[in-house]
A and B are shown apart, each in its own frame.
Chain A
Amino acid sequence: MQAEPVAAEKAFQYNRPMDNQNKNMASEEELLEEITSSEYKYGFVTNIESDKAPKGLSEEIVRFISKKKNEPDWLLQYRLKSLKVWEQMIEPKWAHLNYPKPDFQDLHYYSAPKPKKQLDSLDEVDPELLETFEKLGISLDEQKRLSGVAVDAVIDSVSVKTTFKDKLGELGIIFCSFSEAVQEHPELVKKYLGTVVPSSDNFYAALNSAVFTDGSFCYIPKGVRCPMELSTYFRINEANTGQFERTLVIADEDSYVSYLEGCTAPMRDENQLHAAVVELVALDRAEIKYSTIQNWYPGNKEGKGGIYNFVTKRGLCMEDSKISWTQVETGSAVTWKYPGCVLKGDRSVGEFYSVAVTANHQQADTGSKMLHIGKNTKSTIISKGISAGQANNSYRGLVKINKNASNSRNFTQCDSLLMGNKCGAHTFPYIEVDNSSSQVEHEATTSKIGEDQIFYCKQRGMDEETAINLIVNGYCKEVLNQLPMEFAVEAQKLLEISLEGSVG
């Protein structure tokens, strides 16, 4: 017997009438103006000679990329098959987003810093590149010494420097660029690539599968607890280059890994397309914690020039395993992203914690997908949206509990915080439960940042900016608490930067 699937759809549009305008509202208007005018802090371009493919996408280009990367034939075939699949697909239109359609034939699909000689130390790295890291506040050296974080810095698709590799190597942990993994661990790549996100999954996943250039690869052997946070910094750096990152993290039985991904991008006039695929595999009793800070260029005041971010992120959980996604997103002009978990194994656990800030003309349609297949599986979704300016922030989530996933549970909480009255917050939860022993809870709130709260803080001596930061950080606390310590500090800074200049 199959229960009728329940599909719920709700939309909240904040649209307060303007008739009760007073002095107070005027200051709010100013506040919004300020937010709108706060400039992107990391807008600069690093000039590194690049080696790029001609514009456009075709079988030739795919072959070019594969050849350039000296790939085995099976991978070329995988790419070509994906290209065929992609050519049959049409761009999804269901998201609550409004943007000009990218011209897929007007992009470069490959670009790499020209290979120089093999590097043995940071001294040999292009000084300009190091400067870029300095501006971002990511000194590799500092990172290495202070926090024990292994950093695999990716600039425009090709890994420049991988650190801590030896130390990890002793434990049998593989942490390298995707291309390197293809060369050195082809059996692992071949076994897992596309098993969580098949090429045919969606339009952007198919595109990525055909043209991905690089990304990160991580394998934690059986029973190994990775002793440090693994971290990769991505950076889109070449004008007009779509970035197609591919990340594959495999945690073998009884292992544990915490993986950090943080990104910023330089200022651009054209929209930049980013369509990454991240696949996580947690085998029996393994645990993967995947944290993201995303701060790509959101576009200028008019919403022009920002990054389009269409990402497919998914984890596969086998028996008694756990995958936890945590993300703090403040960037991109358009975001389309639903990190999810396929809870295949019995008693597996999936978690999603997210803070998404949209200001100016930014748009985000983001959320999570939790697919319960195994028995006694559990999932938690905590989503916090913050909208300011004329931004639109939508939560779209799918919780599906299959017929055989008895005694499964989901708890979803999605909160929206609105700053001003020109922005929008929307919630589109889809819930499908096909058995009667499972339990699903969904809570949603929409609130406006309170004048009362701000005044209360001001009366205690704080200025408006401090007050807003404090309130916003409090609102996001449940999510920020999930981040590793040093990342949480960075995330707080990022929230502050994003809401900077909000003094009325």
Chain B
Amino acid sequence: MLKIKNLHASIEETEILKGIDLEVKAGEVHAIMGPNGSGKSTLSSVLAGRDEYEVTAGSVDFLGEDLLDLEAEDRARAGIFLAFQYPVEIPGVSNINFLKTAINEIREKRGEKEIAAKDFLARVKEKSKLVGLEGKFNNRSVNEGFSGGEKKRNEIFQMAMLEPKLAILDETDSGLDIDALKVVSEGVNKLKSPDNATIVITHYQRLLDYIVPDFVHVLANGKIVKTGGKELALELEEKGYDWIKQEAVKA
């Protein structure tokens, strides 16, 4: 589904990603872990198409398309969803209106008709249950006045509504208490299918108790320095990141 080859990216002429290689297949869950400043969030931003970042080398293939050639909105329409680390507030725009606009715009580009109000509302009802929202936020402005946990749940709710092929969760666990973490993880797990894939970016292994990854990658200094199964996450939790950094230096 996603093939990243030798990806280099910089912001304001500082190179952050220094040759990432990663392949994600349908049905898989990949966790990307790493210390602060290792390039985790840069990777998610580059994949989502934020224009502050400049890709200086490498390629990203998504479902046979050159992802780097697409505008951010076209990537979203192709099925990439980013759950933001810091979801943005949009005052005066209700959650429901925001989602309806997004869904209809995606449908329009695919040459489909606007979603019927009835179908849309049914979907809202069904998906909001997944994250324990039950329509609570529908008429509130997008993320405005939401607590940290509510914002993250709202991200997962949006993800459920948009049904992406590849979801990238950028530090979705940060700022969540254990109950919220469970709700969010359950939501993600329920959305998992053989046709979609998830990249979970996280700092702590805690989230991986709930969202069990098929692969764990350790990112350090802009490169993936180690890849393993879920047990790698436990090892990291125990030993910290230093030994990996040292290994990376030796290599």
> CA A27 – CA B50 in complex, angstroms?
12
Q: Are A461 and B93 neighbours in the complex by a CB distance under 8 Å?
A: no
Known: A466-B101, A470-B101, A471-B93. A458 touches B88 (CB 8 A): no
Once bound together, how far apart are the Cα atoms of A452 and B49, in whole Å?
12
Q: Is there a chain A Cβ closer than 8 Å to B51's Cβ?
A: yes
Contacts A23-B51, A23-B54, A24-B51 given: A462-B92 contact, CB under 8 Å?
no
Question: Does A148 interact with chain B (Cβ within 8 Å)?
Answer: no
- Contact yes or no, A456 B54, CB < 8 A: no
From A22, A457, A473, give the contact of B102 (CB < 8 A): A457
Give the residues in chain B near A404, CB-CB below 8 Å.
Answer: none
Q: Report the Cα distance A137→B54, complex, angstroms.
A: 46
The answer to the question of B160 belonging to the interface, with a C-beta cut-off of 8 Å to chain A, is no
| A474/B141 contact (C-beta < 8 A), A23-B51, A460-B158 known | yes
The number of chain A residues with a CB under 8 A from chain B is 26
Task: Give the shortest distance, in Å, between B217 (CB) and chain A (any CB).
Answer: 23
B240 to chain A, nearest CB (A): 32
Once the chains are docked, how many angstroms separate the CA of A267 from the CA of B117?
Answer: 40
Interface locus among A228-236, A385-393, A475-483? A475-483
Contact A473 B93 (CB under 8 A): yes
Contacts of B76 in A (CB 8 A): 458-461
Q: How far is the CB of B63 from chain A (nearest CB, A)?
A: 16
> Roughly how many angstroms separate A24 CA and B48 CA in the complex, as a whole number?
15
Query: B residues within 8 A CB of A27?
Result: 51
B88: which A residues are within 8 A, CB to CB?
A: 450, 452-453, 455-456
Q: Name the residue in B54, B76, B84, B102 with the highest tally of chain A Cβ atoms < 10 Å from its Cβ.
A: B102
Check B112 for interface membership: any CB of A closer than 8 A. no
The answer to whether B1 has its CB under 8 Å from any CB of chain A is no
The residues of B that contact A474 with a CB separation of less than 8 Å are 90-93, 141
A23 vs B88: C-alpha distance when bound (angstroms): 22
Report whether A453 and B71 are in contact in the complex, using a CB–CB cutoff of 8 Å. Answer: no
The answer on a CB contact under 8 Å between B102 and A460 is yes
Question: Are B91 and A475 closer than 8 Å at their CB atoms?
Answer: yes
Q: Report whether A475 and B105 are in contact in the complex, using a CB–CB cutoff of 8 Å.
A: no
Residues on the B chain within 8 Å of A476, using CB = 92
Contacts of B162 in A (CB 8 A): 460-461
Chain A residues whose C-beta falls within 8 Å of the C-beta of B75 in the assembled complex: 459
- CB B86 to nearest CB in A, in angstroms, measures 8
Are A24 and B52 in touch, CB under 8 angstroms?
A: yes
Residue in A455, A470, A471, A475 whose beta carbon sits within 8 Å of that of B72 in the complex: A455
Q: Which of A450, A456, A466, A475: most chain B CB closer than 10 A?
A: A456
Residues of chain B whose beta carbon lies under 8 Å from any beta carbon of chain A: 12, 48-52, 54, 71-73, 75-77, 81-82, 84, 87-93, 97-99, 101-103, 105-106, 109, 141, 158, 162
Please, could you name 14 A-B residue pairs with CB atoms under 8 Å apart, sorted by A? A23-B54, A450-B88, A452-B88, A453-B88, A453-B90, A457-B90, A459-B72, A459-B81, A460-B102, A460-B162, A461-B105, A462-B101, A462-B105, A463-B105
